[in-house]
Homo-oligomer: A and B are copies of this chain.
Amino acid sequence: MFSAGHAKYLPKTSGLCQKLLDNELLSEISSYKNVSEEIFRLAKFVDKFGARPSGSVILEDSIDYMIQLTRDEGINDVTTEELEVPHWVRGNEVITMLKPRVKNIDLLGLGRSVSTPEDGITAEVIVFSNFEQLEATPLEDIKGKIVLYDPVFTTYGETVVYRSNGATKAAEKGASAALVRSITPFSINSPHTGSQTYDGNVTKIPTAAITLEDADLIRRLYNRGETVVLNIKMSSTYDTKISRNTIIDLKGIEKPEKLVIVSGHIDSWDVGQGAMDDGGGLLISWAAPVILNHLNLRPKRTIRSIFWTAEELGLIGAYAYEEKHRNESSNINFIMESDEGTFAPLGLAVAGNQEARCIIAEILNLFASINASTLVEDDSPGSDINVIIQTGVPGASLHNANERYFWFHHTDGDTMNVEDPKELDLCAAFWTAVAYIIADLSVDIPR
On A, residues with C-beta under 8 Å from B are 43-44, 47-50, 101, 103, 106, 187-190, 212-213, 216-217, 220-221, 224, 272-273, 407-408, 411-413, 415-417
Whole-angstrom CA separation of A47 from B273 in the bound complex: 33
Distance (whole angstroms) from the CB of A22 to the closest CB of chain B: 40
A415–B50 CB distance below 8 A: no
Which residues of chain B have C-beta atoms less than 8 A from A407's C-beta?
A: 188
Q: Could you write out 18 A-B pairs with CB less than 8 Å apart?
A: A48-B101, A49-B101, A188-B190, A188-B408, A188-B411, A188-B413, A189-B190, A189-B413, A190-B190, A212-B417, A213-B412, A213-B415, A216-B415, A216-B416, A216-B417, A217-B415, A217-B416, A220-B416
Smallest CB gap from A413: residue in B: B188
CA distance A413 to B411 in the complex (A): 14
Q: Are A415 and B48 in contact (CB under 8 A)?
A: no
Q: CB distance B47 to A217 under 8 Å? A: yes
Q: Top 7 A-B pairs ranked by shortest CB distance?
A: A188-B413, A189-B412, A213-B415, A189-B413, A188-B190, A188-B188, A213-B417
Cα A47 to Cα B219 in complex, Å, equals 11
Asked whether, in the complex, the Cβ of A43 is within 8 Å of the Cβ of B189, the reply is: no
For A413, what are the chain B residues with a Cβ–Cβ distance below 8 Å?
187-190, 213
- On whether the beta carbons of A411 and B189 are closer than 8 Å, the reply is yes
Chain B contacts for A189, CB-based, 8 A: 190, 272, 411-413, 415
A217 contact set on B, CB distance < 8 A: 47, 273, 415-416
With both chains docked as a complex, state the minimum distance between the C-beta of A28 and any C-beta of chain B, in angstroms: 30
Q: CA–CA, A276 to B412, complex, Å?
A: 24
Of chain B, the residue at the smallest CB distance from A271 is B189
Which has the most chain B C-beta neighbours within 10 Å: A187, A216, A273, A417?
Answer: A417
Compute how far the CA of A41 lies from the CA of B293 in the bound complex, rounded to whole angstroms. 65
Shortest Cβ gap from A226 to chain B (Å): 9
The residue of chain B having its C-beta at the shortest distance from the C-beta of A184 within the complex is B188
Assess whether A188 is in contact with B412, with CB atoms less than 8 Å apart.
yes
On chain B, the residues within 8 Å of A43 by CB distance are: 220
Tell me the bound Cα distance from A408 to B216 in angstroms. Answer: 17
Quote the shortest CB–CB distance from A178 to chain B (angstroms): 22
- Return A324 CB to nearest CB of chain B, in Å: 33
Most buried by B among A44, A49, A188, A224: A188
Q: How far is the CA of A317 from the CA of B47 in the complex (A)?
A: 45
CB distance from A58 to the nearest CB of B (A): 9
Bound CA span A288–B217, Å: 27
Distance, CA A190 to CA B187, complexed state (A): 10
Give chain B nearest CB distance to A46 CB in angstroms: 9
Cα-based distance from A272 to B190 in the complex (angstroms): 12
What B residues does A47 contact at CB under 8 A? Answer: 217, 220-221
Within the complex, what minimum Cβ distance (angstroms) separates A362 from chain B? 40
Report the bound CA distance from A278 to B273 in whole Å. 34
Tell me, in angstroms, the Cα distance from A190 to B412 when the chains sit together.
Answer: 9
- Residues in B whose Cβ lies below 8 Å from that of A49: 101
Closest Cβ neighbor of A186 among chain B residues: B188
Q: A43-B220, A216-B415, A217-B415 are in contact. List 8 more A-B contacts (CB 8 A).
A: A47-B217, A187-B413, A187-B417, A188-B412, A189-B411, A190-B413, A213-B413, A213-B417
- When C-beta atoms are compared, the residue in chain B nearest to A49 turns out to be B101
Contacts of A44 in B (CB 8 A): 224
Chain B residues closer than 8 Å to A106, beta-carbon distance = 412
Q: Which residue of chain B has its CB nearest to the CB of A275? A: B213
Cβ–Cβ contact B50 & A101, under 8 A = yes
Closest B-chain residue to A104, C-beta based? Answer: B412
Whether B411 contacts A213 by the Cβ 8 Å rule is no
Please indicate the chain B residues that have their CB under 8 angstroms from the CB of A220 in the complex: 43, 47, 416
Question: Which residue of B has the minimal Cβ distance to A100?
Answer: B48
Tell me the nearest residue of chain B to A214, going by C-beta. B415
Q: Which residues of B contact A273 (CB under 8 A)?
A: 213, 217
What residues on B are CB-neighbors of A190 within 8 Å? 188-190, 413
Nearest Cβ on chain B to A413's Cβ, whole angstroms: 3
B101 touches A416 (CB 8 A): no
Q: How far is the CA of A268 from the CA of B272 in the complex (A)?
A: 29
In the bound complex, residues from chain B placing their C-beta under 8 Å from that of A221 are 47
Give the distance in Å from the alpha carbon of A385 to the alpha carbon of B359 in the complex.
Answer: 66
